[in-house]
Structures are given as structure tokens and as C-alpha cells.
Homo-oligomer: A and B are copies of this chain.
């Protein structure tokens, strides 16, 4: 019989998806210019030419039997080595190839990391607002989710609430900085304080609390933003990365996890990830992609458009009267809705103005909405009067 749990889920469409679908429908009916779709976080800039050339070179020059052959269970050794070296050079770390596990994007990295450092029944802490897929990633391991409410003043960390929720059942804490949906970046002060709280609690409970850091936006940080490399501040940490945004390769499903060499059982965690793959049928990412990345670890796509769009939108919207915590990176911002019911605000903006934005309820933070500004700047410019209209309707 088909699985009842998953079957029930197929009926439930995510709100983000509903807005996206409405946008498609409206575009089909009234033309693409009638819609300003800020609902989805798809990179809008192409992969670097050198990345395409790296793939082409492998296809041209490397023996296909070895190029497309099985990757070792724990990943291509040369790729792992190159990733470790790049992190060591850039962030003063001391990773070895054995601490790197190539994964199917950040989703694969997070799912492996979570399974590796929890037992079924443990608790994992996350922070609102959060990427909604964290819930299935965590519950899929058999762990429970505990949610720290948002610090809506600065979208840093609500430490009082965190300390309250840090019970002995907690075996991992998952953070996402630079953050989706807020665009904010945890400061060095925030990370230091987080590390110190976790260290204190580890001591108190007599067991490790792993810090899992979801960092797909690490390379999209705007000028002047304090953006610490989290793993440098806390030993029991696993950094989860994806090349989806930095190299504009989301469909290639390529990322990695990097186990802090100072973590407890550091040398065991990657082999454990290899075992986890056997139970989920996940296996390594594409061997062509793994190999192609080796030369692409110090570059990014031209990400400057995201900063330009952020600046333009932030200035215009705050001038209009919106209240926004200024994004320090990513291609998201998370303004306060002019009315309490962000859901109503977003649907009205969609239907009356063709402005497709997503209510914060989807990220467990009602009263706010997310703008994904990974779109051509010209679309941002044209949308500004509509954001003004939407605001004026309610104020």
C-alpha cells in the first residue's frame, strides 16, 4: 500500500508555491510584464565562464571511463583535497581531505550532518525565521524540532529564548547565516556569544552539542558587512555548503559538508556520512561536477547585481515607510508588513498589482514578507512604484 504519511503531504501545497503558481498563471494570462515575481530564490546570473570551460575540458580531455566512473563513497579525493585547501587558505582553518564530504547540494549536506550527530528522539534547535525545508530535514532523521522565536529587532539571535530551549535533549543547533529569508548576517559578536552559550551547556550536560551551519549564501555578502566564518569560533561544528548560489549551479546539486577538525570524533563523521548514504540511497554528487569544481573554488559568478538590487530596493522601500532590517547579504530582504496579516498583504499585492512576494508565515515569522531580488535590476526599478502603492493602500 502506498505510504500514508507521504501521501497526505502531496495534497498540501506550500504557500511559496501557491504564490509562484499564481505568478505563472497571471503571466500566462496578461503577459510577463504584468508580473513582478519576487517569490523564488533562483540565481539570475550565469555560472562563470571558467566553470563551464572546466566541465567542457573534462569532457574533451579526460578518459570517459574514469571521468564518469563511480566516485569513491566518500567523494573524489582530489576534489576533497582542493575544497579543504581553499577553506584553510580563506578562513585559516585546518581541514584535511578526510573532513570533506561532497553532497547533493546543501540539502544533502544538512541531511547527512543532522543524521550524523543526532539519535532518533533528540532535539535540534532552529531559529525563526527559517527555511521551511529544515522541518523535513530534521524530522526525517527521527529528531524533534525546537524553534527559537525571531529577534525581530535585528534578526540576530534571541539568546534568552535560546538558553531557555537548550535542554539536555538538544544534540544539535542549526543556523543559517547569511540568512534566508532575512538577508541578515550573524555578526562576530553573535557567533562568539552563541559559541560561549553552547560551550557552557555542553559542560553542563556532559555531552556535545553540534553546531550545524547552513552557508549557501556565504559568498553573497555586501560591502562592510561583518561576516565571520562560524566554524572558526566553535569546535563541534559542521559547515554545510552549496555551489548553487556562488557558482549559479542549483540544478547540478553540488555542495559539501566540512567537519571541524577540532570536533569530537572529527575523523569519524565523514565515514559515518558514507554509511548514512546507504540508507537514504543518496550517494555522491555527479563525478563530472565534483571534478569540474576543483579549479573553481576561488571564484564566483558576478554576484554584484544582488548588492545593487538590495541597495536600490532597501533605499526606496524605507523611504516609502517600510520598516526593514538592512540585509548584509544573500538576495533576500524581509520587511515588516504594513498590516499585521502579511498573508492578506501579499495576496492583495499579488492580485491587485502583480507584485509576488511571500508572507513571513511560511518562515514561521508572521507579520513580515520576503522579497527575493535575484532578478534583473530593471524589474526592481519598475516594481518600486508598486511597492509604494501597496504601502499607501494600508497606511
Cβ contact within 8 Å between B117 and A3: yes
Which chain B residue lies CB-closest to A65? B46
Selected contact of A284 from candidates B70, B133, B207, B253, CB within 8 Å = B253
Known: A3-B115, A171-B1, A272-B6. A59 touches B55 (CB 8 A): yes
The CA of A265 and the CA of B117, in the complex, are separated in Å by 37
With a CB–CB cut-off of 8 A, which chain B residues contact A249?
68
Judged by a CB distance under 8 angstroms, whether A116 is at the interface is yes
Cβ contact within 8 Å between A6 and B64: no
With a CB–CB cut-off of 8 A, which chain B residues contact A271?
10
Q: Which of A135-143, A176-184, A224-232, A362-370 contacts B (4 or more CB under 8 A)?
A: A135-143
Cβ contact within 8 Å between A281 and B112: yes
Cβ contact within 8 Å between A2 and B68: no
The CA of A70 and the CA of B271, in the complex, are separated in Å by 29
Cβ contact within 8 Å between A10 and B139: no
Judged by a CB distance under 8 angstroms, whether A71 is at the interface is yes
Q: Mark A1-12 against chain B: 1 for CB-CB distance below 8 A, else 0.
A: 111111101100
Cβ contact within 8 Å between B65 and A44: yes
Known: A2-B116, A251-B71, A252-B68. A268 touches B46 (CB 8 A): no
The CA of A269 and the CA of B2, in the complex, are separated in Å by 8
Cβ contact within 8 Å between B117 and A2: yes
Chain B CB within 10 Å, residue with most, of A2, A9, A67: A2
Count of chain A residues near B, Cβ 8 A: 78
Judged by a CB distance under 8 angstroms, whether A282 is at the interface is yes
Cβ contact within 8 Å between B116 and A6: yes
Cβ contact within 8 Å between B4 and A280: no
Q: Mark A306-337 against chain B: 1 for CB-CB distance below 8 A, else 0.
A: 00000000000000000000000000000000
Cβ contact within 8 Å between A10 and B278: no
Known: A63-B46, A286-B286. A140 touches B280 (CB 8 A): yes
Give the shortest distance, in Å, between A211 (CB) and chain B (any CB). 14
Which chain B residue lies CB-closest to A44? B65
Known: A56-B59, A251-B69. A104 touches B3 (CB 8 A): no
Judged by a CB distance under 8 angstroms, whether A45 is at the interface is yes
Known: A56-B59, A140-B281, A281-B104. A3 touches B272 (CB 8 A): yes
Known: A10-B272, A65-B44. A108 touches B281 (CB 8 A): yes
List A residues 1-48 near B (Cβ within 8 Å).
1-7, 9-10, 42-47
Cβ contact within 8 Å between A140 and B279: yes
Which chain B residue lies CB-closest to A45? B65
Judged by a CB distance under 8 angstroms, whether A190 is at the interface is no
With a CB–CB cut-off of 8 A, which chain B residues contact A275?
6, 9-10
Cβ contact within 8 Å between A47 and B69: no
Selected contact of A47 from candidates B7, B64, B251, CB within 8 Å = B64
Judged by a CB distance under 8 angstroms, whether A213 is at the interface is no
9 further A-B pairs in the complex, CB-CB below 8 A; given A46-B64, A280-B280: A2-B116, A2-B268, A2-B269, A10-B272, A47-B68, A55-B59, A56-B59, A111-B280, A254-B286
